[in-house]
Amino acid sequence: MEQLSVGLGDRSYQILITHHGFSGLSEELQRIQFPGKVVIVTNTTVLPLYGSLVSQLLTESGYDVEQIVVEDGESYKNAETLNTIYTRLIELGCDRHSGIIALGGGVVGDMAGYAAATFLRGIPFVQIPTTVLAQVDSSVGGKTAINHPLGKNLIGAFYQPWAVFINVATLETLDQRNVLAGIAEVIKYGVMFDETFFSWLEEHVEPLLSLDTEALAYAVRRSCELKAEVVAADERESSVRAVLNFGHTFGHAVEQLSGYGTVLHGEAVAIGMLVAANVSRLMELCQDSDVERLTRLLEAFGFVTQPPPFSLEDYLAAMGRDKKVHGGILRFIVNVGIGESRIVSLEDPESVFKSVLG
């Protein structure tokens, strides 16, 4: 089992990465003195795969285990589903000495984390991510949220887990589309922080697409290393952490305009990254060769890179509600070549995106 640390003082926690099932989970919960009453929040897809396995493992270790099962999909990441989680927590008699385990992908992790952040003003939670996207990105860093019809992740809280337990073997049950959705976030780390990692991805397209264990494990570990460093430096996204949103401002607009769940988050981020790279080229912060290199890698993984045909006005309105808007000015993340990043202020986003989107 590999261990990485997210250094946040007295709220620091470990990311544990293993290829060997869920062995070690109970020991980690005991080490961090996680509450004895545990509620596993999962969804209808993950439940038959791992729900009974994890519940039995924890029960055998002396934990009092309950389950809350929600529907699967981004379209259910909303206030209504969140309220059903609150209702079940109350019905189960949970108190401040209870804990939540998020077992599933990014939607489950975000909702369970936000429920933990707000139920009784905060109870402990642990992430057990089961998708590529959740393992490399959303489970680490304490961003929890639900969507609103007018924008993605607009309602949420920064609330750190007590631990993140990553079983890479769970990725073997994913379909190709969901694997790709996570790979987009992996590519983001290479573009933003590490050209060597970006080059490694260029050389390992086929192993990653075929779910090669070693390739996936390295991609997960390196992504978590990079994110842990950023979160430790800027937990609440006041400065450097904002660059983790590369591709997300436009990508979130794609998701919202398309209808949540129609375009998967990673698919939208892939489109958004290429839009951002073209903005960077327009601002002369990267070269044609950098944009071409990113385009080739995205297309090698099978991503659609053309934005859906919504109007410029619709895109601008959706991005105008983005969390990175300050004083009416859109703060936008761009790459500087491959391996570096920058936050820029777009005072006239209409002219910028008119040029980029044609």
Catalytic annotation present for 121: yes
Tell me: is residue 130 an annotated ligand-binding position.
yes
Catalytic annotation present for 252: yes
58: its two tokens: 């924890």
Tell me: is residue 131 an annotated ligand-binding position.
yes
Tell me: is residue 172 an annotated ligand-binding position.
yes
Catalytic annotation present for 37: no
Distances (CA, A) of 144 to 82, 284, 296: 12, 35, 33
Tell me: is residue 65 an annotated ligand-binding position.
no
Residue 146, Cβ density class (10 Å: 0-12 exposed, 13-18 middle, ≥19 buried): buried
User: Where are the domains positioned within the chain?
Assistant: 2-173, 176-357
Query: Regarding the domain delimited by 2-173, which CATH topology (the fold level of the hierarchy) does it fall under?
Result: Rossmann fold (3.40.50)
Tell me: is residue 292 an annotated ligand-binding position.
no
Catalytic annotation present for 245: yes
147, 153, 167, 245: the catalytic one is: 245
227, 255, 323, 335: the catalytic one is: 227
DSSP state letters, 172-233: GG--HHHHHHHHHHHHHHHHHH-HHHHHHHHH-HHHHHTT-HHHHHHHHHHHHHHHHHHHHH
Catalytic annotation present for 293: no
DSSP state letters, 79-144: HHHHHHHHHHHHHTT--TTEEEEEEESHHHHHHHHHHHHHGGG---EEEEE-SHHIIIIITSS-EE
The class of domain 176-357 in CATH terms is mainly alpha
Contact criterion met (CB below 8 Å) for 306 and 273? no
pLDDT in tens, the chain (358 residues): 899 999 999 999 999 999 889 989 999 999 999 999 999 999 999 999 999 999 999 999 999 999 999 999 999 999 999 999 999 999 999 999 999 999 999 999 999 999 999 999 999 999 999 999 999 999 999 999 999 999 999 999 999 999 999 999 999 999 999 999 999 999 999 999 999 999 999 999 999 999 898 999 999 999 999 999 999 999 998 888 889 999 999 999 999 999 999 999 999 999 999 999 999 999 999 999 999 999 999 999 999 999 999 999 999 999 998 877 888 899 999 999 999 999 999 999 999 999 999 8
Residue of 195, 337, 138, 182 lying closest to 270 (CA atoms): 182
Tell me: is residue 95 an annotated ligand-binding position.
no
Question: What pLDDT score does 305 carry?
Answer: 95
Question: What pLDDT score does 328 carry?
Answer: 81
Residue 48, Cβ density class (10 Å: 0-12 exposed, 13-18 middle, ≥19 buried): exposed
Tell me: is residue 185 an annotated ligand-binding position.
yes
User: CA-CA distance, 74 to 347, in Å (whole number)?
Assistant: 31
Catalytic annotation present for 148: no
pTM given for the model: 0.92
Query: Which residue is associated with the tokens 């439940």?
Result: 47
Q: Indicate the helix (H) or strand (E) that contains 276.
A: helix 265-282
Same fold, 2-173 and 176-357: no
Which residues, other chains included, contact 280 with Cβ-Cβ below 8 Å and sequence gap of 6+? 286, 290, 291, 334, 335, 336
Under DSSP, the state recorded for 235 is T
Which residues, other chains included, contact 12 with Cβ-Cβ below 8 Å and sequence gap of 6+? 5, 6
88, 221, 222, 252: the catalytic one is: 252
Q: At what angle do helices 312-320 and 349-357 cross, to 10 degrees?
A: 130
Question: What does DSSP say about strands 98-104 and 64-70: parallel, antiparallel, or unpaired?
Answer: unpaired
User: CA-CA distance, 207 to 298, in Å (whole number)?
Assistant: 15
104: its two tokens: 């599933």
User: CA-CA distance, 174 to 166, in Å (whole number)?
Assistant: 15
237, 255, 278, 335: the catalytic one is: 237
88, 143, 188, 323: the catalytic one is: 143
User: CA-CA distance, 14 to 32, in Å (whole number)?
Assistant: 10
Under DSSP, the state recorded for 20 is S
Question: What pLDDT score does 6 carry?
Answer: 97
Tell me: is residue 354 an annotated ligand-binding position.
no
Catalytic annotation present for 326: no
Catalytic annotation present for 241: yes
